[in-house]
Amino acid sequence: MLKTTGLVLGGLAVPGALESCLTSNTSTTSGSIKIGYVSPITGPAAGFGEPDSYVIGLARKAFQSGLSIGGTNYSVEIVSRDGQSTSSVGARVANDLIQSQKVDLMLATSTPETVNPVSDACEAAGVPCISTVVPWEAWYLGRGGKVGQPSPFKWTYHYCFGVLQFFLAYTHLWPQVPTNKKVGVMYPNDADGNAIRGALAPLLKSAGYTIIDPGPYEDGTNDYSAQIARFIAEDCQIFNTFPIPPDFATFWRQAKQQGYTSHVKIGQIAKTGLFPSQVTALAPIGNGLASGVYWAPTWPYKSSLTGMTSKQLGDGYESSSGKQWNQQLGASLSLFDVANAVLKASGNPKDKAKVRDAMKTLAVETSVGNLDWSKNPNFGPGTAAVPNVVSTPIIGGQWKQGASKWPIDFVICENSSDPNVPVASQLQPYTAG
């Protein structure tokens, strides 16, 4: 039932006390809609799950009066599961939600290790699924889709940034700091790394950058001496990587010990370094790292489900949790914006085929921006749109100390893939090494 083509099983399944977190026991009736939600709450990608409790609480409050659709008022139940950052667990909890919980609609977020197996399970079972926060190439191509050909997917829909948005961000960000344009890259042998290696590296070469690639490495590698030695020998003043968070922490500390960070003028990271907790854990060598943001409190959009602006969402999370804003806030809430809109648009939320068909032309305002599956101009001039996918922005910036009341904060330095997002500063050379 589960198609795993293009996926790499990584990490260790963590016994999940949180697996049934945020789950209610109400049974589904003809007047009830059940929404499944899968994210990594534990494991290497746990940073993505940090705001889940707050976001699901907002969604539950917005749905507390139910949804009136086609003359019927439906109660709405959200059933959350922890994918534990691994493909095997993601597949297992997805199948439990489908077979045991009988969900009407599935939502999934954050990294291919979680999202792809959930999407595959839904595709096999004929359950509509909406997902985000996986570069669309890793989701679409990694599951067997091919650009320019009819989509093999009938039940799964996705929205996220892609290689073009990374390319735009990097080529607008990197010229802000003078370098020799030599880029040392560390792309892992996983769905994200392979998609980035195949598509981003050629684009960067075409823009005049020299790519120094030691080759794919396996998730969980603990000795990067050979790669570091090569980056030093080649004087790679720009460093770019798409690792799971623990791997980058290991690499960057070894790079500091072995003298590579003193060569680096731009340390550009993705997949890790998205959240304050990850950067703070690196202590001084985290300050000045460049990264990307797919939502921030300065985003000029609001949630159509809750009516909250991006600033209200960030402020509310900080007030409620005592923690710094986390960019996954906007992305996770946006899934519920889409869910609300497509259930209403279907006319009959208990008919899975009608929910699926409504996704094909759905247009909705979300906290991360306006999404429209009937048209998508964000794949680049001359590039065919990809069925089932809406491409969204990734915005470049830098982690800086002293930028706000928090010990370190993300500062937006370019907005090439969404000019509506305000720019706050210019990229500064990395000096913490």
Report which DSSP code applies to 86: S
Could you tell me which of 289, 190, 315, 199 has the C-alpha nearest to residue 244?
190
Query: In the prediction, which pLDDT does 339 show?
Result: 98
Token readout for 105 is 């609609």
Query: In the prediction, which pLDDT does 3 show?
Result: 34
Considering the domain architecture, whether residues 235 and 286 belong to the same structural domain is answered as yes
The parent domain of residue 242 ranges over 164-296+394-412
Token readout for 31 is 């007047």
Number of structural domains the chain divides into? 2
Residues, the chain? 433
Query: In the prediction, which pLDDT does 6 show?
Result: 35
Query: In the prediction, which pLDDT does 384 show?
Result: 58
CB atoms within 10 A of CB 22: 18
Considering the domain architecture, whether residues 171 and 145 belong to the same structural domain is answered as no
Considering the domain architecture, whether residues 134 and 254 belong to the same structural domain is answered as no
Identify the three-state secondary structure at position 67. Answer: strand
Specify the CATH number for the domain of residue 329. Answer: 3.40.50.2300
Distance (Å, whole) CA 209 – CA 397: 19
Buried-state track 316-325, b at ≥16 Cβ within 10 A, e below 16: bbbeeeeebb
Query: In the prediction, which pLDDT does 201 show?
Result: 92
Query: Are 285 and 256 within 8 A, CB to CB?
Result: yes
Is residue 280 a part of any domain in this protein?
yes
Is residue 343 a part of any domain in this protein?
yes
Is residue 54 a part of any domain in this protein?
yes
Considering the domain architecture, whether residues 40 and 128 belong to the same structural domain is answered as yes
Q: Kind of pairing, strands 156-160 and 129-132?
A: parallel
Is residue 6 a part of any domain in this protein?
no
Considering the domain architecture, whether residues 168 and 276 belong to the same structural domain is answered as yes
Query: In the prediction, which pLDDT does 377 show?
Result: 54
Distance (Å, whole) CA 275 – CA 328: 8
Distance (Å, whole) CA 113 – CA 288: 28
Query: Are 206 and 200 within 8 A, CB to CB?
Result: no
Is residue 235 a part of any domain in this protein?
yes
Query: In the prediction, which pLDDT does 379 show?
Result: 58
Considering the domain architecture, whether residues 321 and 235 belong to the same structural domain is answered as no
Is residue 386 a part of any domain in this protein?
yes
Distance (Å, whole) CA 22 – CA 203: 43
Is residue 429 a part of any domain in this protein?
no
Considering the domain architecture, whether residues 264 and 307 belong to the same structural domain is answered as no
Considering the domain architecture, whether residues 278 and 219 belong to the same structural domain is answered as yes
∠ CA 131-136-137, nearest 5°, is 140
Query: Are 144 and 170 within 8 A, CB to CB?
Result: no
The stretches in the chain having pLDDT less than 50 are: 1-29, 381-382
Identify the three-state secondary structure at position 274. Answer: coil
Considering the domain architecture, whether residues 186 and 277 belong to the same structural domain is answered as yes
CB atoms within 10 A of CB 426: 12
Token readout for 389 is 């996918």
Is residue 17 a part of any domain in this protein?
no
Could you tell me which of 161, 130, 132 has the C-alpha nearest to residue 341?
130
pTM: 0.88
Query: In the prediction, which pLDDT does 380 show?
Result: 53
Considering the domain architecture, whether residues 153 and 40 belong to the same structural domain is answered as yes
Considering the domain architecture, whether residues 401 and 289 belong to the same structural domain is answered as yes
Token readout for 184 is 């040392």
User: Phi and psi of 17, rounded to 5°?
Assistant: -65, -25
Considering the domain architecture, whether residues 259 and 330 belong to the same structural domain is answered as no
Query: In the prediction, which pLDDT does 383 show?
Result: 52
